[in-house]
Amino acid sequence: MTGSTREPSPNTRPIVLVTGATGYVGGRLLGELDREKYRVRALARKPEYVRHKAHPDVETVAGDALDKGSLLAALRDVHTAYYLIHSMGSSGNFEEKDRAAARNFGDAARECGVRRIIYLGGLGDPDANLSPHLRSRHEVGELLRQSGVQVIEFRASVVVGSGSLSFELIRALTERLPVMTTPRWVSVPAQPIAIGDLLQYLVLALVLEIDGNQVFEIGGEDVISYGGLMKEYARQRGLKRLLIPVPVLTPGLSSRWLGLVTPLYARVGRKLIDGVRHPTLVRDGRARTLFNVRPMGVREAIAAALRNEDREFAETRWSDALSSGGTLRDWGGVRFGNRVVVSQTVTVPVGVDAVFDIVQRVGGKNGWFFADWAWTIRGWIDLLVGGVGMRRGRRDPGTLHVGDVVDCWRVETLVPGQLIRFAAEMKVPGRAWLEFEFRENDGRTVIRQTALFDPVGLSGLLYWYALYPAHQFVFAGMLRKIARTTRTR
């Protein structure tokens, strides 16, 4: 990374904590800090979701910003902490969750003697009638400052990079729709910043010699709208696209429409649209004078994002973040019914490694082996009720790791050659898993497929038994197709 100004010796390197390590920016930041020779500690609610992506030198710890006790342990001996946490993908009162998390983190940082907090928030005129999401971003910065720990807050607009929420929205719309009717928010001006430039600001903030709390507005060279970004993307991809503005699409209708044609779903789409209804422009240019960063323009930023276009997956993606699925809900006080377990097996005349390789390719562009139309319908239904749907795809078409998103599931457990367990992130009245176990015997492999469901109350039981015939049809067909596929390898 250009602009770095120090390379600490191994014996004196301070510990730097990165929160939001499962997210898009946090995941990229881990690699940058490791390359700059910092001692890096990554905080995640499920640290196993981080370990396969992080360098072996990165320490991973379990913690939750809503649990102050876990923060006190994670912040011990930390010099600087990155606060990259938000509740954009969560259900319910996300503003209150953001407040509680910021207060906990600030208090824990003060008690642990943290010297500096670096926070990434959102651009927007604080005197304007901001969306709840942007208003919450500004409030979080203020709550962190109230802790007494020095806070450097960056406020950024659209982040352009392969795998970012905004860029994947632009990519999906432009690639799939030759003609688009666009609501008013598509023409609102913004000042996008390339992910590489954003990371430079975040890393250089570690060594910035400055007193007191600081708020820096950062952006790229160009002021442009989402519509302009789509046109530039189309130009670079050699696509002809027509945008027809219409005044009638509300944020709610727009978010559901986006869910049908992009990887987004209604809850995240609504908050994203709410956040771009007002201009997000840099008004204070101090960051240009204090940091050795020369931000690129939109054309160069999109070109940089497209250099990896032939790759099937980005280094990190917005949907990697646990909050992108609204998962890890607080089930405290909820009484689950008896767990429902439906299991079936098939034996195939091939070794376990070959079978495991086939099964771990499930989902995304590879499909679900059987009745993809049924999975598509289930995804549409999930989108209509505010769930994640089936459009998030998967990072890598050939291999899986713990924490990977696969359409409406996430890999919860993976033991090569033995076990793959997916946890559902769709909206269901309970908790659901789909599991594949593998056991080899004399060159043959037994595949056990198990669907597990923890229903919540009567509604959970009614849901399961009403859909039992459909589940049996799809899961049994999937297992038969997996067996046939192994025999043709």
pLDDT, one tens digit per residue, over 44-86 is 888 887 877 778 888 999 999 989 999 999 999 999 999 998 7
Query: What CATH fold (topology level) applies to the domain 336-488?
Result: Alpha-D-Glucose-1,6-Bisphosphate; Chain A, domain 4 (3.30.530)
* Range of lowest pLDDT (109-118, 227-236, 376-385): 376-385
User: Tokens 């670079």 map to which residue?
Assistant: 236
Residue 375's pLDDT is what?
A: 87
Structure token pair of residue 269: 């789409």
Residue 8's pLDDT is what?
A: 46
* Whole-number Å distance between alpha carbons of 189 and 258: 20
For the cut 60, the answer to whether the pLDDT of residue 264 exceeds it is no
Contact between residue 228 and residue 324 where contact means Cβ atoms under 8 Å apart: no
For the cut 50, the answer to whether the pLDDT of residue 135 exceeds it is yes
For the cut 90, the answer to whether the pLDDT of residue 204 exceeds it is yes
φ and ψ of 439, to 5 deg: -140, 125
Most confident of 17-31, 103-117, 264-278: 103-117
Say if strands 430-441 and 419-424 run parallel, antiparallel, or are unpaired: antiparallel
For the cut 80, the answer to whether the pLDDT of residue 202 exceeds it is yes
User: Tokens 């809850």 map to which residue?
Assistant: 267
Please give the single-letter amino acid code of residue 76: R
Instruction: Report pLDDT digits (tens) over 297-345.
Output: 999 999 998 886 544 445 555 555 545 444 545 544 444 556 788 889 9
Contact between residue 320 and residue 27 where contact means Cβ atoms under 8 Å apart: yes
pLDDT, mean over the chain: 83
Instruction: Report pLDDT digits (tens) over 210-261.
Output: 999 999 999 999 999 989 999 999 999 888 989 888 776 565 666 666 666 6
Q: In the chain, pLDDT over 90 holds for what percent of residues?
A: 40
CB burial string 253-274: b at 16+ within 10 A, e below: ebbbbbbeebbbbbbbbbbbbb
Residue 255's pLDDT is what?
A: 60
Domain ranges of the chain: 15-323, 336-488
Instruction: Report pLDDT digits (tens) over 441-467.
Output: 888 999 999 988 888 777 888 888 898
Please give the single-letter amino acid code of residue 485: T
Mean pLDDT of 181-201: 89
For the cut 80, the answer to whether the pLDDT of residue 130 exceeds it is no
For the cut 90, the answer to whether the pLDDT of residue 479 exceeds it is yes
CATH number of 15-323: 3.40.50.720
